[in-house]
A and B are shown apart, each in its own frame.
Chain A
């Protein structure tokens, strides 16, 4: 992972507060755990039926029956619990998740999220993402600021099929931390070595910039 991505993930890890129940989506969000102290008091949930996720294990130490929703071999910690898939999503839909962190293809200025389908190119199914996005109390997105071709992923409106409407509260990118405020994208923090002009240029809609000095991560 590049330094900028690593800093983004480390910054996102500071979003977890003691006592939270958190679901970390497949991909970059999963790496957030690498930046938490071992004794940090938080309960991680995975859709396939586990609360209290422990460290990811290499293949030679893995248990064949113990994975997370992304298929990674994980472990338990004291207090872990297993349950069936209906219970797992009862937990999600009833608002027991304080926070979920998800990846994104596109995030709109009104908080719409598209992260499951690119018609004609990528349609593996929505899995549990739609329920996480729609029902977690707070939804944060971790994503590179632009796609591989350099196009903004933060846009005025999503062009891809939506995962959920108006769900995203905050976006962590390799360039900035941006909130979805009533007026649209609002800059909260900037990444080291990135200028305000570069962030504005890479953002696909109006970026509101407060008058105050912003923290750097």
Chain B
């Protein structure tokens, strides 16, 4: 038996995104952000997108290119502190922003990928983040209902992949990538190297290729992937 080959061109992969889709983007700051897939998405031009990402990168980087292109209607995120442009779009009503506590966003995505409807948490009780959420009493404790989150498409960045779409991440570039890999109908991964089957040891794979639909190999990395000079 041989595992199927899921290698795909950047353009063919990104063509799966449709107007109105919810698109998850891996990454926390620069590490793990699929900058090349994001550029392809800007070129592709699907509109009215809901983007799910921990942060909005920095001005003129990553998510900011999607915002500048006017393709984003809604952003589900945890923190925009490094992107004043995103904050301006939010404050002037040009995009709708839903803030989640960071671990709650991660767990909602994990639940979505695990075939669950949601989970109970006491995070945010007594603060404005709890407003509008359903409350459940269980035993002598009070919880908020946190619904699972899924997407139409997830765009991920991996360090290494193989042709089946098995993925391995490096250092703090892991972050939301393995969670989002489980939580979308169509999962597209860019990888710095796509290796032949067997080149990644089974013990070193962080995301099984079963979760991944398309994998595309990056050429030379653009400067967005580099250390940010501040």
Contacts and interface: CB of A to CB of B under 8 A. Distances in A.
B229 A59 contact: yes
A17 B176 CA distance: 31
Interface stretch (B12-20, B43-51, B97-105): B97-105
Contacts of A50: 171-172
A50 B54 CA distance: 16
A90 B110 CA distance: 12
Contact of A131 (B30, B32, B103, B172): B103
A130 B101 contact: yes
Q: Which of B78, B81, B87, B103 has the most CB of A within 10 A?
A: B103
A88 B172 CA distance: 11
A69 B123 CA distance: 19
A89 B30 contact: no
Contacts of A125: 77-81, 97, 99
B124 A130 contact: yes
A162 B77 CA distance: 19
Interface residues of B, number: 51
B129 A92 contact: no
**A contact residues, range:** 35 or more
Nearest to A91: B103
Interface of A: 46-50, 59, 62-69, 71, 73, 76, 82-86, 88-90, 92-93, 123-128, 130-131, 134-135, 161-165
28 contacts: A50-B172, A59-B227, A59-B229, A64-B225, A67-B172, A71-B29, A82-B171, A83-B174, A84-B175, A84-B176, A85-B102, A86-B103, A86-B179, A88-B103, A89-B106, A125-B77, A125-B79, A125-B80, A125-B99, A126-B99, A127-B101, A130-B127, A131-B103, A135-B123, A161-B127, A162-B127, A164-B126, A165-B126
